[in-house]
Structure 1
């Protein structure tokens, strides 16, 4: 498996993977989009809004994997690549996906609106 930045020609495929996961994602061309591929087939994607004004902070807006490929470490690899590129990586998510973010060592706190906020800093992982 390979994780890399998506080309604009791959955005439609990534959008369809997000749609199957019922994720609403802002306009992909305004984001950094990562894809996990195998034999040139896109298995999953992540949409990250980058804020270079705050130390290259990455706001993870969506991460999704094709349904038949879930549970195979693809989402983990996408988050690992995001952490390599941006620090910290921040995500807002539902309680139902909390175990995924806990496994990836995100510091998790409630946001007060029924959602959770997770932060993963590469510096914290190497202390």
Structure 2
């Protein structure tokens, strides 16, 4: 299931050919995810990408749960961060997996609040749930 996102970006499930683009986007956002883990998540069908004319400009990596999925990472290329791509990635994931959960730092809480996540502080981080 693919959807057209902001500015003509196609949001879709990642395929094996997207592996390098996914890793590059995550590295650019200083998010740690090994090549092997990225490959396993792509194979499991739990990676969503934002594709702008065959260039990966955003990625969401999730892990399936008994019910729904948990977001491990969301990243968007620096120059594209104000384009709504992160929102499109999370909305796509939420349409596939319910509930969708995420753990995150306080600095990105407004992002998750705006998407409708119920957020609860857990120590220095937050846990958000979208039903």
* TM-score between both structures, scaled by the size of structure 2: 0.85
After superposition, give the CA deviation of every residue in 1:62-93 in whole Å (9 maximum; x if it has no partner): 00000000111100000010001100000000
Say if 1:30 and 1:49, in contact at 8 Å, map to a contact too.
no
Question: Structure 1 residue 39: deviation in Å?
Answer: 1.5
Matched, 1:10 2:18: yes
Kindly report structure 1 stretches of 4+ aligned residues shifted beyond 6 Å. Answer: none
Matched, 1:115 2:98: no
Gaps of 5+ in 1: 122-127
Say if 1:4 and 1:36, in contact at 8 Å, map to a contact too.
yes
Say if 1:102 and 1:108, in contact at 8 Å, map to a contact too.
yes
Partner-residue secondary structure (3-state), 2:127: strand
Partner-residue secondary structure (3-state), 1:10: helix
Q: Aligned residue for 2:61?
A: 47
Q: Aligned residue for 1:92?
A: 103
Partner-residue secondary structure (3-state), 2:19: helix
Say if 2:25 and 2:56, in contact at 8 Å, map to a contact too.
no
Partner-residue secondary structure (3-state), 1:98: helix
After superposition, give the CA deviation of every residue in 1:41-60 in whole Å (9 maximum; x if it has no partner): 21100001012xx23x1100
Q: Aligned residue for 2:32?
A: 24
Query: In the aligned structure 1, how far is the partner of 2:53 from the partner of 2:103?
Result: 31
Gaps of 5+ in 2: 1-8
Q: Aligned residue for 1:80?
A: 91
Query: In the aligned structure 2, how far is the partner of 1:64 from the partner of 1:2?
Result: 15
Q: CA RMSD in A?
A: 1.1
Say if 2:50 and 2:89, in contact at 8 Å, map to a contact too.
yes
Query: In the aligned structure 2, how far is the partner of 1:9 from the partner of 1:37?
Result: 12
